[in-house]
Amino acid sequence: MLKKVLKWTGRTLLVIVLLALGYYTKAYITIGNRKSKVYPVKPVKLDIPADSATIAQGKRLVTTKGCNDCHGKDLGGRVLFEQSGVGRLVARNLTKGKGGISQDYDTDDWVRAIRHGVQQDGTPLIYMPSAGFNKLSETDLKAVIAYCAQVPPVDRVNPPSEIGVGATILADLGELELFEAEKIDHNAAPPLAIREGVTADFGKYVSQICTGCHKSDMKGTPGEGGTPDISSTGKSARWTDEQFFQTLRTGKRPDGTELKAPMPWQMTAAFSDTEMRALRMYLKRI
């Protein structure tokens, strides 16, 4: 009797292992196909200014759009995440130094990466949040490129990003967004210029960088490890305007508790008063 039990237990385990291997093989192929897909992007042609005002604006935007959070203050890149069996996420060196991409990038390449989330060969960048940058105005996009193209070189050779077993499975299950290029309409007309001012329209423009975590409706994602609702139905809507501004500038809520990562309050702290008030106006209306 015991031999029969062991025999059937062994067969059951073998079936489970084979099913698991079969699923992983399917996931591996699927993610591989998505990773190697070529997006025939035709970047809008831009003439990049080199004046000091444009470069200064680009430097500010690199902060307020969160580029420094991943690529570092020097834009030399770094390893953001690495875990055996899961994978490695690396923000690239954007400078002209050793290991940097800027020396090989022309304006079209910058537009592909920032607005479309794709590499020079048209394949998608891994975990590049381009959906939040896709609607950057032409003026702001030019400023970002102008700044990145002349930032001091940093000699830093970072390892490549790797999609491990865990990340492959999570991505296949829809629990991990690896390729934001999949979410972008690459044939859409370039966004119209938004006039800067304390208006809901400009606030919506500012909020694009928030959509990656708080979603397009700013309702966030419920549950442990989720992101809060920051729209008119969320807790922050009950704060005064000054409490809202103070929270985004200091990283501390009105009750004294601290905002936890990945909330990039160092990024929002660099918002201008106009950006901050416009964002608040927009969030209170949705």
Specify whether 124 is located in the same domain as 234.
no
Looking at the domain assignment, is residue 270 inside a domain?
A: yes
Structural contact between residues 194 and 275, judged by C-beta atoms closer than 8 angstroms: no
- Whose CA is closest to 91, among 171, 148, 28, 50? 148
Structural contact between residues 130 and 181, judged by C-beta atoms closer than 8 angstroms: yes
Structural contact between residues 24 and 169, judged by C-beta atoms closer than 8 angstroms: yes
Say how far apart CA 229 and CA 132 lie, in whole Å.
18
Structural contact between residues 154 and 95, judged by C-beta atoms closer than 8 angstroms: yes
pLDDT digits (tens, 9 = 90+) for 157-201: 999 999 999 999 999 999 899 999 999 999 988 888 888 999 999
Quote the tokens at residue 280: 């608040």
State the sign of the Cα–Cα–Cα–Cα dihedral 233, 183, 179, 34. Answer: positive
Domain of 17? 1-36
Instruction: Name every residue whose Cβ is closer than 8 Å to that of residue 189 and which is 6 or more positions away in sequence.
Output: none
Coil, helix or strand for 21? helix
CA angle 211, 214, 219 (to 5 degrees): 120
Looking at the domain assignment, is residue 194 inside a domain?
A: no
pLDDT of 13? 72
Looking at the domain assignment, is residue 190 inside a domain?
A: no
Distances in Å between the alpha carbon of 193 and those of 30, 97, 110, 202? 38, 33, 19, 10
Looking at the domain assignment, is residue 45 inside a domain?
A: no
- What is the percent of the chain where pLDDT is above 70? 95
Looking at the domain assignment, is residue 57 inside a domain?
A: yes
Looking at the domain assignment, is residue 13 inside a domain?
A: yes
Specify whether 119 is located in the same domain as 95.
yes
Looking at the domain assignment, is residue 127 inside a domain?
A: yes
Specify whether 15 is located in the same domain as 102.
no
Query: Is the pLDDT score of 6 beyond 70?
Result: no
Say how far apart CA 155 and CA 265 lie, in whole Å.
28
Query: Is the pLDDT score of 207 beyond 60?
Result: yes
Burial zone of 274 (CB within 10 Å; 0-12 exposed, 13-18 middle, 19+ buried): middle
Specify whether 173 is located in the same domain as 225.
no
Looking at the domain assignment, is residue 217 inside a domain?
A: yes
Summarize the confidence of residues 232-257 as an average pLDDT.
96
Say how far apart CA 185 and CA 128 lie, in whole Å.
15
CA angle 144, 146, 148 (to 5 degrees): 65
How do 162-163 and 78-83 pair as beta strands? Answer: unpaired
For the domain that residue 67 is a member of, what is the CATH number?
1.10.760
pLDDT digits (tens, 9 = 90+) for 45-92: 899 999 999 999 999 999 999 999 999 999 999 999 999 999 999 999
Summarize the confidence of residues 137-145 as an average pLDDT.
96
Specify whether 7 is located in the same domain as 58.
no
Specify whether 158 is located in the same domain as 85.
yes
Structural contact between residues 3 and 145, judged by C-beta atoms closer than 8 angstroms: no
Query: Is the pLDDT score of 19 beyond 90?
Result: no
- Report the domain count for the chain: 3
